[in-house]
Amino acid sequence: MAKKEETISMIDTFAEFKELKNIDRTTMISVLEESFRNVLAKMFGTDENFDIIVNPDKGDFEIWRNRAVVEDDKVEDPNLQIALSEAKKIDEDYEVGEEVTDEVFFEKFGRRAILNLRQTLASKILELQKDAIYNLYKDKIGQLISAEVYQTWKKEVLLIDDNGNEMLLPKSEQIPGDVFHKGESVRAVIVEVDNKNNNPKIIVSRTSEDFLRRLFELEVPEIHDGLITIHKVARIPGERAKIAVESYDERIDPVGACVGVKGSRIHGIVRELRNENIDVINYTTNISLFIQRALNPAKISSIRLNEEEHKAEVFLKPDEVSLAIGKGGFNIKLACMLTDYTIDVYRDIDEDVEEDIYLDEFKDEIDEWIIEALKSIGCATAKSVLAKSREELIEGADLEESTVDEVLRILKAEFDESEEA
């Protein structure tokens, strides 16, 4: 009796386990039946002559064995055959050649069989649980989650969601300045889910562009309701971001709705992103206008597009160049990311000012990567380079002293030749 109670208790335990681990009823019945069959097959060599009935509502099960009736001296396999005299003890009407079906009580198989069943069930349920986690999250890539910090390491943080599932937040997916403490709640987006070697791994991110998208959807009802669309997002995590939005309802100002009254909506997002500055701009299919808006707060004088190569040459007044490039070059880098165009910034040379020469004209004498480094600090022309001190060029463009000296020599020689001519 004790063994039967132990077996039933075991099934009750796994029924509770099923509820906790989101394993559905049909799957659980199948697992129980398969586990019983595995144990029976090991004990008797086959399980094909057994019928197993699992009743999860009552927390019990039945096992019925089917055996052929043979003469008393013809029994070769007691599992598949039953002697006529034994069959008649069950029912006097049995004859040779008929089939006897009688109930088998699993607890009579002994403690080893029960332990074997328990181990088999535990192994299969663990496999099912891993599959369930993978199937639950594989279609949730890009979705926002909130989880609790369970443990922090040098290269990653272990998070636990409300269902007890583990998630990893790698250092590379953390915003610079992120500091986590055990027990605190963290928001992120799911970026990767794999099940290599039947070991599900869920990777989340706070640097993904989708993280910024989901935060805006959360904070701005008009985006959640589909009245405002987010077309493009560009981020340099922890520093700056640009987001292009559009409204299909003329009564709704998409930028104003995203920012909120006195910045009420965007402030919460900025805090979540560790004070990452966010520029919200109106999206347009007019690429020239879109590039102008993307370079805000700089004011563009003119623009020249090469749509085939996705390149744009932007001309600005000298005092606007630094605004277009931005601190650390972030503004122009984000504008390129947002518009999918390579943007080159040039000073708009006044006709009354002494003639200048664009650096691109010196490609035969100066390596292109050096020219690009100089452009990154707002020097698109020869005179804009010559107007800066040697030290400014070395530190600002991150160039070797010898490289800067050679560039200055080439540019000065050009103007010296022009004067001689």
Summarize the confidence of residues 258-270 as an average pLDDT. Answer: 92
Same domain, 93 and 106: yes
Q: What is the pLDDT of residue 3?
A: 47
Same domain, 103 and 176: no
Region for 259 from its dihedrals, namely left if φ exceeds 0, alpha if ψ lies in -120 to 50, beta otherwise: alpha
Q: What is the pLDDT of residue 148?
A: 95
pLDDT at residue 2 is higher than 50: no
* Tokens read off for 23: 């394993």
Same domain, 19 and 121: yes
**Residue 74 located in a structural domain:** yes
Same domain, 148 and 45: no
Same domain, 93 and 9: yes
* Domain final position from 110, 136, 162: 136
pLDDT confidence of 22, banded at 50, 70, 90? low
Query: What percent of the chain is modeled with pLDDT above 70?
Result: 90
Summarize the confidence of residues 198-209 as an average pLDDT. Answer: 92
**Residue 274 located in a structural domain:** yes
Quote the CA–CA distance of 77 and 73 in Å, as a whole number.
Answer: 12
Same domain, 11 and 103: yes
**Residue 416 located in a structural domain:** no
Q: What is the pLDDT of residue 58?
A: 66
pLDDT confidence of 388, banded at 50, 70, 90? confident
Same domain, 274 and 183: no
Q: What is the pLDDT of residue 420?
A: 56
> Which of 103-112, 168-177, 179-188, 306-315 bottoms out in mean pLDDT, i.e. has the lowest?
103-112
pLDDT at residue 419 is higher than 70: no
**Residue 197 located in a structural domain:** yes
**Residue 366 located in a structural domain:** no
Q: What is the pLDDT of residue 354?
A: 53
Q: What is the pLDDT of residue 23?
A: 64
* Domain final position from 260, 283, 306: 283
* Tokens read off for 9: 């208790």
* Domain final position from 207, 235, 251: 207
Quote the CA–CA distance of 99 and 36 in Å, as a whole number.
Answer: 22
pLDDT at residue 20 is higher than 70: no
* Tokens read off for 230: 């987010």
pLDDT at residue 213 is higher than 50: yes
Summarize the confidence of residues 319-348 as an average pLDDT. Answer: 90
Same domain, 119 and 227: no
pLDDT at residue 14 is higher than 80: no
pLDDT at residue 13 is higher than 70: no
Q: What is the pLDDT of residues 37-92, one digit of tens each?
A: 888 888 888 889 998 887 766 667 788 989 999 998 888 888 898 898 988 888 88
Of the two residues 298 and 25, the one the predictor is more confident about is: 298
Give the CATH number of the domain where residue 55 resides: 3.30.1480
For residues 255 and 280, the answer to whether their CB atoms sit within 8 Å is: yes
Same domain, 35 and 130: yes
Quote the CA–CA distance of 86 and 60 in Å, as a whole number.
Answer: 28
Quote the CA–CA distance of 345 and 244 in Å, as a whole number.
Answer: 21
**Residue 58 located in a structural domain:** yes
For residues 234 and 338, the answer to whether their CB atoms sit within 8 Å is: yes
Q: What is the pLDDT of residues 156-168, one digit of tens each?
A: 999 999 888 899 9
* pTM greater than 0.85: no
3 state SS for the chain: CHHHHHHHHHHHHHHHHHHHHCCCHHHHHHHHHHHHHHHHHHHHCCCCCEEEEEECCCCEEEEEEEEEEECHHHCCCCCCEEEHHHHHHHCCCCCCCCEEEEEECHHHHCHHHHHHHHHHHHHHHHHHHHHHHHHHHCCCCCCEEEEEEEEECCCEEEEECCCCCEEEEEHHHCCCCCCCCCCCEEEEEEEEEECHHHCCEEEEECCCHHHHHHHHHHHCHHHHCCCEEEEEEEEECCCEEEEEEEECCCCCCHHHHHHCHHHHHHHHHHHHCCCCEEEEEECCCCHHHHHHHHCCCCCEEEEEEECCCCEEEEEECHHHHHHHHCHHHHHHHHHHHHHCCEEEEEECCCCCCCCCCEHHHHCCCCCHHHHHHHHCCCCCEHHHHHCCCHHHHHHHCCCCHHHHHHHHHHHHHHHHHHHHC
pLDDT at residue 352 is higher than 50: no
Specify the number of domains making up the chain.
3
User: CB under 8 Å, gap of 24 or more: what pairs does 75-79 form?
Assistant: 79/44, 79/45, 79/46, 79/49
Q: What is the pLDDT of residue 321?
A: 87
Q: What is the pLDDT of residues 288-311, one digit of tens each?
A: 999 999 999 898 888 889 989 999
User: CB under 8 Å, gap of 24 or more: what pairs does 90-94 form?
Assistant: 94/69
Same domain, 104 and 71: yes
Of the two residues 206 and 25, the one the predictor is more confident about is: 206
Query: What percent of the chain is modeled with pLDDT above 90?
Result: 42
pLDDT confidence of 1, banded at 50, 70, 90? very low
pLDDT confidence of 351, banded at 50, 70, 90? very low
Summarize the confidence of residues 214-237 as an average pLDDT. Answer: 94
Quote the CA–CA distance of 255 and 253 in Å, as a whole number.
Answer: 6
* Tokens read off for 130: 């891993």
Q: What is the pLDDT of residues 107-164, one digit of tens each?
A: 777 777 777 777 777 777 778 778 878 888 888 999 999 999 999 999 999 999 988 8
**Residue 98 located in a structural domain:** yes
Residue 198: CB atoms within 10 Å: 10
pLDDT at residue 400 is higher than 60: yes
Q: What is the pLDDT of residue 332?
A: 94
Of the two residues 326 and 360, the one the predictor is more confident about is: 326
Same domain, 62 and 109: yes
Same domain, 128 and 163: no
Give the CATH number of the domain where residue 243 resides: 3.30.300.20
Closest CA to 362 of 384, 343, 390: 384
Give the CATH number of the domain where residue 198 resides: 2.40.50.140
**Residue 108 located in a structural domain:** yes
Helix 2-21, helix 25-44: angle, nearest 10: 140
For residues 278 and 255, the answer to whether their CB atoms sit within 8 Å is: no
What's the chain's average pLDDT?
Answer: 85
Q: Determine the structural domain holding residue 148 and report its residue range.
A: 144-207
Residue 308: CB atoms within 10 Å: 6
